[in-house]
Amino acid sequence: MAIKFSVLKEATDSRARLGVLETPHGKIQTPVFMPVGTQATVKTFTNHELKDAGSEIILSNTYHLYLRPGHDLIERAGGLHKFMNWDRPILTDSGGFQVFSLGKLRTITEEGVEFRSHLDGSKHFISPEKSMDIQMALGSDIAMVFDECAPYPADYQYVKESKDMTYRWAKRCKEHHHREDQALFGIVQGGMFADLRKESAKELIDLDFPGYGIGGLSVGEPKPLMYEVLDELMLVMPKDKPRYLMGVGSPDALVEAVFRGVDMFDCVLPTRIARHGAVMTRQGNITIRNQPYAEDYLPIEEGCPCYACQNHSRAYIRHLIKTKEVLGLRLTSIHNIIFLIRLMNDIREAIRQDRLAEFRKDFFSEYKG
């Protein structure tokens, strides 16, 4: 087994769990937020800064690395860890979500997905088997099955057929995957339909994966609907396996999803909004790019230990963002990533003390989404 997951404590006031996930590149405390390093780099960060920020694992994107610099090049370099000199765990997605997001540039069949590169229009084909080959070449600690992520909204019949194909693809992935130092997670689909979600979960559980992604949420639906789906789904998810809610990273959703029993998250949100001059605080996001912050000499968030808050004012950071300076992106990115990692630390501490319900109440009394 490439990984070992241990639940250290189950909360009594919620479905939350405190755990440890052991991988070939080290241990991860869960619940965990994984910063996204799409192109073998978490945007603006060095690896040392990521470690200093407390990041125990990062995610990288199969689709992007397949196109540039190519999984074969990375394999020859000794794998993704060595190529980017990151010695902690890496999870790779399957490329599915990125490929489906290409819209008109792709065609889905039972065999796989044909698509044109968003970079140069060149034609490519990724099947479940090909996704496994790429991820095995990258050598991530955790690989994900190639799934179809149904759009929102989508009708019942479409979502059902998509979920069925996702199951058949998951089976093909499992049969093709053979790297022993890499764990392969299944992905539950089923859109916003509770019965399809449960069916999908049961089908995947039958295939016995060491962990399960929850895909197809946070794709445009209202947040309460996402929480409802999670409520239903969690009733059938195995307790002894990590549960990974894919693509979710807003502070409120992290609190709500951990409360419902999710262990892992990833999202480009913290670095994406950082590029637009928006920063996370316990009161909600602030767009320091805006005029009111032009002469605001407070830090982004009082008491925050990040480099930005310890060294610079909102006014200076606003100036850097307005003038498109790299340091501006660095400071807002570092603040946002550390904000989410600290939030997860606080959440884990609350579970440890079995007071997550109270933590959640306090959090939402302050947080204005």
Residues annotated as catalytic are 93, 266
Q: Which of residues 177-236 bind its own copies (CB under 8 A)?
A: none
Task: Sort strands 264-267 and 278-279 into parallel, antiparallel or unpaired.
Answer: unpaired
- Cβ contacts of residue 73 below 8 Å, gap of 6+? none
Indicate whether 155 belongs to the interface with its own copies (CB under 8 A). Answer: no
Residues 288-307 that bind its own copies (CB under 8 A): 294-295, 297, 307
Kindly tell me which residue out of 316, 339, 359, 363 binds its own copies, with binding defined by CB under 8 A.
316
Q: Which of 6, 8, 20, 85 binds its own copies (CB under 8 A)?
A: 85
| 41 near its own copies, judged by CB under 8 A | yes
CB of 171 to its own copies, least distance (A): 34
Question: Is residue 39 part of the contact set for its own copies (CB under 8 A)?
Answer: yes
Which of these ranges, 45-53, 91-99, 102-110, 220-228, lies near its own copies under the rule CB under 8 A? Answer: 45-53
| 59 makes contact with its own copies (CB under 8 A) | no
Of residues 7, 165, 315, 357, which one binds its own copies by CB under 8 A?
A: 315
Q: At its nearest, how many Å lie between its own copies and the CB of residue 339?
A: 18
Per-residue b or e along 112-142, where b marks 16 or more CB atoms closer than 10 Å to that residue's CB: bbbbeeeeeeeebebbbbbbbbbbbbbbbbb
Give start and end residues of each alpha helix (H) in the chain.
Answer: 47-53, 62-67, 71-76, 80-84, 96-100, 128-138, 156-176, 194-207, 223-234, 251-259, 269-275, 307-311, 314-322, 326-352, 356-366
Instruction: Please state, in angstroms and rounded to a whole number, the distance separating the CA atoms of residues 65 and 265.
Output: 21
- Contact residue for its own copies among 11, 18, 36, 40 (CB under 8 A): 40
CA pseudo-torsion sign 301, 302, 305, 311: positive
- Count Cβ atoms below 10 Å from residue 220 Cβ, excluding itself: 8
Beta bridge partners of residue 6, listed in sequence order: 20
Q: Pick between residue 41 and residue 285 the one whose CB is nearest to its own copies.
A: 41
Residues 324-353 that bind its own copies (CB under 8 A): 325-330
Closest distance of CB 39 from its own copies, Å: 5
| 268-287 CB burial, b ≥16 within 10 A, e <16 | bbbbebbbebbbbbbeebbe
Using CB under 8 A, pick the residue from 16, 36, 84, 268 that binds its own copies.
84
The one segment of 83-91, 129-137, 168-176, 227-235 that binds its own copies by CB under 8 A: 83-91
Report CA-CA distances (Å) from 36 to 2, 128, 180.
22, 22, 24
CA angle 18, 23, 27 (to 5 degrees): 45
Residue 66, interface with its own copies (CB under 8 A)? no
Number of residues that bind its own copies (CB under 8 A): 37
Give residues in contact with its own copies (CB under 8 A): 39-41, 43-48, 64, 68-69, 73, 76-77, 83-85, 294-295, 297, 307, 311-313, 315-316, 319-320, 322-323, 325-330
